[in-house]
Amino acid sequence: MTKIVTRLIVIGIITTFCVGVMIGSVILINQRSLQDGYLINIAGKQRMLTQKITKEVFVINSQNKQGFRELNLAIREFESNLNILQYGSQEKSITPLVNPTIIRQLDLIKNQWLMFKESIGDFQKNASSISADKNFLDDNNPIILRLSDNIVKAMVEAKMPPKVIDEAGKQRMLIQRMAYLFIRYATRWDSISYYEFKEAYDLYDSVILGFYRNKTYQSNPKIYQAIKEAYEFWEIYSKSLQNVLVTQEKIVEDLRSIAAQNTDLLNQIDWMVNYYSDISTHSRSYLEKFQYAAAFIMILLALYSIKNLFNIHAHLEKFVQKTQMLAQGEIKGDLAEVIKLEGESELSVASKNLSKFLNRFHIAKETSNRAKELSEDISEEIAKISEEISEKLEVAQISQAKRKSIKNAINLGEDIAIQSSEQLIVVARLLDKLHSILQEIEESCKEKEGKK
C-alpha cells in the first residue's frame, strides 16, 4: 500500500497541475480572443477602406473636386492596417499570425493593393491636370455661347437667308450639346456619348471654319466681325476642350481599372476575413475541448481523491481502534502482535514502532530481572568474603592501623554492593510497576472476554 503522505503529495501535484492548466487555458483563450478580435476588426476595416477609397475617387470625378485629403487619409490607413496584419504591432500588442495560408493571402492582397494604388495615383494625376481645363470650360461656356449668338443676331440684322441663319443658330445648340455629352461621358464612360460628342465638336468646328472663310460674310463687316471673334475664341476654347477630352479618356480608363481592381481586392480581403474568423473559431473550439478534457481529468482526480480519503479514514479508524483497545484494556493475547497494522502506510509504521517498543519493554524487564538476581548473588558473595576476611583478621598478627584500613576497605565494598543492589532494585521496581500495568491491561481484557 502506498504511503499516505505520498498519495496526498501525488493528489496535490496533479490537482495543482490541472488547476494551472485550467487557469492557463482561460487566460490563453481570453488573450487569443482579444487578439483575434483586433485582427478580424482590422481585416474587416480593410474592406470598408477599399470601398471608401473607391467612393472618394468617383466623388472627385463626378463633382470635379480638387482636394484629395479624404482619399489620401483612407490610403494611409489602409497601408497602416495592412502592415499590422503582416508584421504585427508592439504598440497594440498584436503579433502576426504564422499561418502559411494567411501569409500567402496577405502577399496576394499586397500585390493587388499596389496595382490598385497605382491606378489611383494615375487618377489623381489626371484629375489634377484636367481640373484647370474643366474650370476654364465652365467659366467660358457662356462666352462662347454669347459669341455664337452674336453671329445669329448679325445675320438676322443683315437679312441673311433663313437657311444660313438656321445653320448659325445650330451652333448655339452644339455648344450646349457638347457640354451635356461631355458630362454624360464623364459619368457613364459610354462610347455613344463619346462619339456623339466628337460629332458635335467636328460639326461646330467645320461650320465656324466655313463661316470664317466665307467671302460673302467677309464682305459684311458686322457679320464678319462677329464670326471672327467667335472663331478666334473657339480656337482657344477648342484646345482646352480637346485636352479635357484626352485627359478624360485616361480618367475613364483609370476609373474602369479602379472599379475592376476594387472588386478583386475586395474579394481577396473578404476571403481573408472569413479565414481569420475560421481560425479564431477553430482555436477557441480546440481550447474549449482542452478545457473539457482538463475538467474531466479533475473529476476523475476528485473521485480518486475521495477513494483515497476513504482508505485513509478506514486506516485511521483501525489505528484509533487499536489505541483505544490498548487504553481500555480490551486487547487479548500478545500486545505487540495484536497492535500491529498491516501495510506500509505511516499509521502501519507507527503501529509497528509501538509494537517494537512493547517487545523491547519485555526484553528490558527480563534483563532487569536477571540483573537483580545477579546483584543478589554478588551481594551474598561479597558478604561471605567479608565475613571470612573478618574472621581471619581477628587471629592475624598485624598492626592496629593495618587492621583498621582493611576493615574500612571491607565496609566500602559492602557499601558499594549495597548501593548497586539498591539501584537495581529501584529499576526493577519501576519495570515491575510497568509490567504490572501491562498485566492489568491483559487481565482486564481476559475478564471482559470471559464476560462476553
HEC readout, 314-348: HHHHHHHHHHHHHHHCCCCCCHHHHCCCCCCCHHH
Query: For position 395, what pLDDT does the model report?
Result: 59
In single-letter form, the type of residue at position 445 comes to C
Q: Which residues pair with 94 in a beta bridge?
A: 89
The whole-angstrom separation of Cα 48 and Cα 38 is 15
Per-residue pLDDT band at 225 (split at 50, 70, 90): very high
C-alpha cell at 327: 487504553
Phi and psi, residue 86, nearest 5°: -85, -40
In this predicted structure, the answer to whether residue 389 has a pLDDT above a threshold of 60 is no
Residue 94 φ/ψ, nearest 5 degrees = -110, 125
Residue 285, burial from CB neighbour count under 10 angstroms (0-12, 13-18, 19+): exposed
Residue 348 cell numbers, joined: 502501519
**98/409 Cα distance (integer angstroms):** 104
- Residue among 116, 129, 122 at smallest CA distance from 53: 116
pLDDT at 1: 44
Give 294-353 pLDDT, tens digit per residue: 778 878 878 877 877 777 777 667 766 666 665 655 555 555 555 555 555 555 555 565
pLDDT recorded at residue 63: 74
Q: What are the CA-CA distances from residue 196 to residues 142, 183, 192, 200, 201 (Å)?
A: 21, 12, 6, 6, 9
Do residues 165 and 155 make contact, with C-beta atoms less than 8 angstroms apart?
yes
Beta-carbon contacts of 197 under 8 Å, excluding residues fewer than 6 positions away, are: 178, 181, 182, 185, 245
Task: Compute and round to an integer the Cα radius of gyration of the chain.
Answer: 60
pLDDT band at 203 (very low <50, low <70, confident <90, very high): very high
Are residues 311 and 64 in contact, defined by beta-carbon separation less than 8 angstroms?
A: no
Confidence class of residue 280 from pLDDT cuts 50, 70 and 90? confident
Q: With a threshold of 0.75, does the pTM exceed it?
A: no
- Average pLDDT over the chain reads 77
Write down the residue that cell numbers 479533475 correspond to: 298
* C-beta separation of 371 from 424 below 8 A: yes
- Residue pLDDT, tens place only, 242-275: 888 888 889 889 988 999 999 999 999 999 888 8
Contact 94, 38 (CB under 8 A): yes
81 pLDDT more than 50: yes
pLDDT one-digit tens code per residue, 149-197: 999 999 998 888 889 889 989 999 999 999 888 888 887 878 898 899 9
